[in-house]
Structure 1
Amino acid sequence: MRKMLGFIVALVAILAPLVPGFADGIIVPIPRPDIPGPPLRWLTIVYHHVTVTIENGVATTKVDQAFRNDGEFPVEGTYVFPLPSGAVIQEFTLWVDGEPVVGGVLPADEAREIYLSYLRQARDPALLEYIGQGAFRARIFPIEPGETRRIALEYVELLSPEGGLFRYRYPLSPERFSAKPLEEVKVEVVVKASRPVGSVYSPTHPVIVGREAPTSARALYVDKDVLPDRDFILYYSLTGEGVGLDFLAYKPDDEDGFFLVLVTPPAVRDLAPLPKDLVLVIDRSGSMEGEKMVQARDAAAFILERLTPEDRFGVVAFDHEILGLTSGLVSASAANVAAAQREVRQLTARGMTNIHESLLQAMEWLQPADRPQYVLFLTDGLPTAGKTVTDTIVRDVTAANTSRSRLFAFGVGYDVNTQLLDLLAEQNRGTTTYVVPGESLELALSSFYTKIAAPALADLALQVDGGEVSDLYPVQLPDLFYGSQLALFGRYTGSGPATIVLTGERGPEDVVLTYNVEFTAAATEASSLPRLWAARKIGHLLNLIRFKEKTEDELKPIIIELATQYGIATPYTSFLVREEERTAAYVNPLAMAVPTGPAGVGAAQATKSLAEAEAAQRADYVREVGGRVFLFVDDVWQESTYEEDTPTVNIVYLSDAYFSLLDRFPEIGPILALGEKVIFKLGTAWVRIGEGGVTELTPEVRAQFQG
């Protein structure tokens, strides 16, 4: 039996980071016997700002870093920045007493030797991440205690599309190289092209994407008080008119492949927005009193102001009684909108909460029509009037939804019944958004409406001709809206060309789009895809249990196996970490099977983030290296597929055997960079790096790595 591994990780640690092939610029200090602690921890990286401009495939990267000496002794050393392959330094600025310092670019062989010498001196395996094609190096003169040294660097590189997708990578991983967390990390990428920009996607970091013009896009990642520990990767594509489709694949050597389909509408609306029907259902029960009621009124006013004359709308307010603020579904004329806004502004909080009747009223107003139809449901509480049983409410509302309208629920605060709202949205083809105390309801609702106000395609379906695919997530495709994109993950077998057929509806018209793709037999770049796919599958399985479509006994073993293999936090896995300095008392809200309160909202948000995961988030005890997952167990970084008591080839850390192994198999450098104790598979053998074992790589030892 494989040793059952799980995780004590923060809930945001849904997906682990990539272990990079390079790392951002650091200062490697000259070792001094009078300064305690690891040399690479003698300085604090105060901030790390990166500004990238990509024009027609030429990427110019500007790096701005500040290093501070928080110790009691002067520190000097060498600033090293590993350059991406083919990159050229354009500018470097470091001021010492008002004078710039000159640096130089090292050839690959010399860079490698210097890195290995640093490794032997500092005894820090993280330096192995630096072994690359070349590097920039400059001497850093003594930094006195309390002094800060600022360094600016600029380099340029040419990006080449693969399968229509451009891939930009910035080395951002100073986790081991700063005495304290960075005050701020910021990466901003501006893409400019002669053609419209299509998909913009980061599998590694949560980015905000803005589009000021069809031929440009801006992606922004910002974090504070953090130790970044993975490279920043951004994919983008160029498209023509209409809906664009981009395709990524990753194929491990010994299993089926993984793929990602990105579907992006045009950067600008190619047709006028479709007329739509919309019913706002607003909770005005007593618990909405105060700021929540004010925000609800403001959000409703925002939405009403943005209706077009071709739209139809209705407004329902409820406590224990149902109040129609419009006479059913009415046209969005200026007079009707103004009248509804006056009614909304007069709403006050009172009474109990009759969710059942309020939603039935909304569904009664919405009759089948050749236009998108939505219910926006806003509540902060539990059903306390009328029918209050979750299954009954969901069954009745879904049955009354004869128009197949999409229901989008907004849960405000911690008193909501998350199971009820999630089921209502799930059964009525919508989504749920939770706004916790301190967040702006008005901002959440208005931002959401801005997206759905202009659907590009509804009732999407996708099929693959010429390729064998399985395990597609999300199982039910959402509508495609302008300003957003759809990410679909799946598995594939075999290889070769295939055709993806995307169908949808635009009003009364059926739309059929076809795209040619290639399922390659050896795709290695998008190594984050396996864990992104696994997170979405786990989220789907958890929802099946929550919604009682499958039993826990049926799905729990599958979830545990996936979670163990791919290093993902679930209600059924707990990861025992016994290293004292890493001990953490994290609580996993996923494990709290309650529908209400902070824990219930946290669990609902966590499951949703798994099911919709698009960016690999940070984890303290999980690392991904080239598609292989490593877990930190008992002070050892251990590959997730390792089974306890499996025989290993034991090699002493930093011994001659260690470096001989690295020379013979340079691809294991990022794995060895995990730490001084690592267990991983090499060929047909398992290797254990640590304190005990062989110190010389004899022919007998080398023979074990064949295959």
Structure 2
Amino acid sequence: WSYTAMRMTLSSTSLPPFLTNCITEDDWDIYSFHINSTVTGRYATTVIKSRVANRMNESKEIEFHVRIPKNAFISKFRMFIDGQVYDGTVKAKEQAQRQYTEAVSRGESAGLVSSVGRTLEEFKTSVTVAAHKKVTFELTYEELMTRTLGKYELLIHARPMQPVQDFKVDVHIHEKAGISFIDVKGGLSTKALANAITKTHADKQAWVHFYPTEDQQKTCDSCGEQGLNGDLVIVYDVNRISSLGDLKRSPGYFVHHFAPSELPRMPKNVVFVIDQSGSMHGKKIQQTRIALIHILNDLAEDDHFGLMTFDDNIFHWKRELVQATEENVKSAKSFARKIQDRGSTDINKAVLEGTKMLNAHHKESSASILILLTDGDPTSGVTNPERIQSNVRKAIADKFPLYCLGFGFDVNFNFLEKMSLQNNGVARRIYEDSDADLQLKGFYEEVANPLLLDVAMTYSGASNLTQTNFSMYYNGSEIVVAGQVTDNNSENFDSQVIAISANKRVRFSKTNASVEFTEVVSDDQIQRVWAYLTVKQLLQKEVVLSGPEKEAVQKEALELSLKYSFVTPLTSMVVTKPPGEETDVLDKPKEGKPQSSREMDLAPPVHPGLGLSVYPGHPRGHPVRYRLHHDPVVGLYVNGELDSNVKGGFNKIGIHFDNSHHVEVGPKLISVRIGQTTTHHSEQVIRRDKEIDVAAGDMRLVIIVHGQTGKELLWPVLRQQPSDNFGEGILGEWEKKKACFALLRPVAKFTVEEV
């Protein structure tokens, strides 16, 4: 499409008549929505149950749409319809994908899970329910809680899509070690909802109940006509009575939580390697400067540090590590304030130089850490990812961890993740939001206080152990090991931990610690902890392997995923429905898959403009194309072709996102172009009878197909967008409660551009 522009300013009162036309469509009623989460021994099992009634005199398609934590594995999904139970079945991804492809080729829908923001994934399915009948949806997911900065956080997202008369969230936590504190945070814990939350804490158990009224669900900060849309975060920690930690054992399995706290902090040697290439322009470089200044302030005086920036060259603050004295920190902050974006990206040279600085500053009884921050692919020097990874691995040689922080979605996260895992570190995505500087600072705080090096955990009378060797243990974190018990005689089951503390080798064992073994936790529960942790670690291991080794690890992870009905990147859940209904397939997305991206080192492509109203004086009958939505931050552009003879919708919708994805939707034909490849079937576009779903990065559009004057027309609506939305345009949301295609959030001004 080519474009000629004419700009004009419109107020929301000058909308053409078709914008507020409603299509009569009856609604369905969610009369009960319960979330029940049980946490036992830091392992959470959460059940979301939604009961929905079709109050109308005709069959209706009813949707179940929830969000769950990214670290969780869905383990069960069922629907109860008219006395029948329909269970989802976990299958190998290839097998489920065939079923999915067959459904799409028949023009049927297929539901997929997709990433939503930083911490959530989304699950959506639908089913047709007969007149005056009910359906109950029940989804179960499981996750092992991760301790960060001295606390566990249980995240529950409430988004029922409408106010619900019977809405309840119940959380029960049982920790044999005892609960040291519990708190409730998140967007749903604001003043308006304070009296809807009750919290009870009694030694080893705690309960949190969240029962908002229908009125509260409409009027709170995270509420609206579609009810609640926000997080409830349960924050807690357990008592630490033993330096060896909390070891639970059942007849078949054990799990060991190791988190000693009363240890001296180790001095650290840290080098910050900061990308200042052209793609870091603007907000990214500003937030990096702010974060670095905060981080430098938090260095302890016995720490040693280095700071360097890079594009296609290296820029040293100092060429060797120096002590974090007040004077040196002040000088480093001055250097950080002057960081400017420029040039291309030579990651290989930068990381090797940081490694060289740390290797030259080896000190006994101190912990060395290398932190890389980048937002792009290597574009200068050595650019082959495998060669860079090989070079870095040889240079580091297991002497210290490498942490890679990938800024935004332009970065090749898979490359960073593999390089981190190869070097005993982790990769973390830093999201391009207003608090990116706090995300950077938060990550640093996690690794700011190393307490132990070279942690080795051994268990007699056990087999099939999860990871038992760790390069570092940080204050406020936790090491978890699980395995199978081969000798049920407790006298023969022994555990010990050997590590390096600030100035000596230390040993933690039953002889110098009081350890409680418990048979209270069921064998099934500890077994699932073992399975969850094993699958997670196998999936990580698979990232760094290749050839037969990679295949063997994948096979083991797949077998466990199928045995325990976990929806993982290797499996999918086939959502069984009544005869005649479309088959849905539930997938788990990978973190490395970009939700939105753009080539920042290149000039942004010219895209169609914002607009709505027909260009005044335009010849009737001539198709006119307008820009409906423009979000340069996430790289999303939505355009509509309008037939000026027919009011009530668009003939064609064009969607451009991720810099290479182009979707063109007509009432009868969908075309998807990814790069140079064109197809009529894609996981990102799901066709229903009168609705087309398009997943555009972390945005979701729904295109309604409706008829007027004997012709089918299209109407696009935004059903999901990030909270920090910088988009301009007139796309509102389709308000199901009123079943009306209307502009719900008009802007006072927007640009009209004719194509």
TM-score, with length taken from structure 1: 0.51
Change (3 A) 1:463 1:200: farther
SS in 2 for 1:409: strand
The one-letter code matched in structure 1 to 2:303 is: D
Aligned residue in 2 for 1:322: 314
Q: CA deviation at 1:344?
A: 0.5
Match 2:544 to one of 541, 544, 547: 547
Q: 1-side partners of 2:350 and 2:380: how far apart?
A: 11
Aligned residue in 1 for 2:275: 283
Q: CA deviation at 1:535?
A: 3.3
- 1:358-409 CA distances to partner (integer Å, 9 max, x unpaired)? 1111111113223001111111110111111122212222222268121111
Aligned residue in 2 for 1:691: none
Aligned residue in 1 for 2:563: 565
- 1:535-585 CA distances to partner (integer Å, 9 max, x unpaired)? 333333334443234535434443332221111224443333341778546
Q: CA deviation at 1:525?
A: 2.3
Deviation larger for 286-295 or 438-447: 438-447
Percentage identity across aligned positions? 25
Q: CA deviation at 1:468?
A: 2.6
Q: Contact 2:264–2:501 at 8 Å: present in 1 too?
A: no
Q: Contact 1:496–1:519 at 8 Å: present in 2 too?
A: no
Change (3 A) 1:596 1:180: closer
Change (3 A) 1:469 1:496: same
Aligned residue in 1 for 2:462: 468
The one-letter code matched in structure 2 to 1:354 is: D
Q: 2-side partners of 1:173 and 1:526: how far apart?
A: 29
Alignment pair present for 1:247 and 2:278: no
- 1:470-508 CA distances to partner (integer Å, 9 max, x unpaired)? 2x2235435222222222122222302122101111133
Q: 2-side partners of 1:493 and 1:226: how far apart?
A: 52
The one-letter code matched in structure 2 to 1:477 is: F
Q: 2-side partners of 1:523 and 1:494: how far apart?
A: 18
Q: Contact 1:495–1:518 at 8 Å: present in 2 too?
A: no
Q: 2-side partners of 1:566 and 1:190: how far apart?
A: 23
Change (3 A) 1:125 1:361: closer
Aligned residue in 1 for 2:197: none
Q: 2-side partners of 1:356 and 1:455: how far apart?
A: 27
The one-letter code matched in structure 1 to 2:319 is: S
Q: 2-side partners of 1:489 and 1:507: how far apart?
A: 27
Aligned residue in 2 for 1:528: 525
Change (3 A) 1:235 1:385: closer
Match 2:477 to one of 473, 484, 490: 484
- 1:174-224 CA distances to partner (integer Å, 9 max, x unpaired)? 99x99977998666889999x9967999xxxxxxxxxxxxx9999989999
Change (3 A) 1:356 1:51: closer
- 1:266-309 CA distances to partner (integer Å, 9 max, x unpaired)? 3xxx3542211111111111111111111111111111001111
Larger helix proportion, structure 1 or 2?
1
The one-letter code matched in structure 2 to 1:496 is: N
Q: 1-side partners of 2:207 and 2:396: how far apart?
A: 39
Q: CA deviation at 1:315?
A: 0.4
Q: Contact 1:413–1:434 at 8 Å: present in 2 too?
A: yes
Alignment pair present for 1:273 and 2:273: no
Alignment pair present for 1:389 and 2:388: no
Aligned residue in 1 for 2:31: 44
- 1:92-125 CA distances to partner (integer Å, 9 max, x unpaired)? xxxxxxxxxxxxxxxxxxxxxxxxxxxxxx9699
Q: 2-side partners of 1:71 and 1:281: how far apart?
A: 61
Q: Contact 1:262–1:486 at 8 Å: present in 2 too?
A: yes
Q: CA deviation at 1:331?
A: 0.9
Alignment pair present for 1:398 and 2:393: yes
- 1:641-695 CA distances to partner (integer Å, 9 max, x unpaired)? xxxxxxxxxxxxxxxxxxxxxxxxxxxxxxxxxxxxxxxxxxxxxxxxxxxxxxx
Q: 1-side partners of 2:380 and 2:484: how far apart?
A: 46
Change (3 A) 1:317 1:178: closer
SS in 1 for 2:354: helix
Q: Contact 1:278–1:375 at 8 Å: present in 2 too?
A: yes
Q: How does 1:277-356 map to 2 (within 5 A)?
A: 277-356=269-348
Q: Give me the CA root mean square deviation.
A: 5.2
Match 2:509 to one of 510, 514, 517: 514
Unaligned runs of 5+ in 1: 1-36, 53-66, 73-121, 127-169, 202-214, 252-256, 602-707
Q: 1-side partners of 2:254 and 2:205: how far apart?
A: 24
The one-letter code matched in structure 1 to 2:552 is: E
SS in 1 for 2:573: coil
Change (3 A) 1:556 1:404: closer
Change (3 A) 1:217 1:389: farther
TM-score, with length taken from structure 2: 0.48
Change (3 A) 1:313 1:219: farther
Match 1:372 to one of 367, 391, 394: 367
Q: Contact 1:261–1:487 at 8 Å: present in 2 too?
A: yes
Q: 2-side partners of 1:403 and 1:125: how far apart?
A: 52
Q: 1-side partners of 2:174 and 2:572: how far apart?
A: 42
Q: 2-side partners of 1:300 and 1:563: how far apart?
A: 41
The one-letter code matched in structure 1 to 2:275 is: D
Q: 1-side partners of 2:399 and 2:207: how far apart?
A: 35
Change (3 A) 1:280 1:188: farther
Q: 2-side partners of 1:464 and 1:199: how far apart?
A: 31
Q: 1-side partners of 2:586 and 2:294: how far apart?
A: 39
SS in 2 for 1:484: coil
SS in 1 for 2:386: helix
Deviation larger for 397-406 or 488-497: 397-406
Q: 1-side partners of 2:497 and 2:505: how far apart?
A: 11
SS in 2 for 1:494: coil
Unaligned runs of 5+ in 2: 1-26, 40-50, 57-81, 87-153, 184-202, 211-221, 599-755
Q: 1-side partners of 2:555 and 2:285: how far apart?
A: 44
SS in 2 for 1:328: coil
SS in 1 for 2:524: coil
The one-letter code matched in structure 1 to 2:351 is: L
Change (3 A) 1:526 1:437: farther
Aligned residue in 2 for 1:499: 494
Aligned residue in 1 for 2:114: none
Q: 1-side partners of 2:438 and 2:173: how far apart?
A: 25
SS in 2 for 1:527: helix
Q: Contact 1:464–1:500 at 8 Å: present in 2 too?
A: yes
Aligned residue in 1 for 2:148: none
The one-letter code matched in structure 2 to 1:44 is: Y
Q: Contact 1:277–1:373 at 8 Å: present in 2 too?
A: yes
Match 2:438 to one of 428, 443, 467: 443
Q: 2-side partners of 1:174 and 1:598: how far apart?
A: 22
SS in 2 for 1:326: coil
SS in 2 for 1:243: coil
SS in 2 for 1:433: strand
Aligned residue in 1 for 2:187: none
Q: Contact 2:240–2:260 at 8 Å: present in 1 too?
A: no
Change (3 A) 1:216 1:586: closer
Q: 1-side partners of 2:406 and 2:166: how far apart?
A: 33
SS in 2 for 1:541: helix
Deviation larger for 342-351 or 540-549: 540-549
Q: Contact 2:161–2:227 at 8 Å: present in 1 too?
A: no
The one-letter code matched in structure 2 to 1:429 is: N
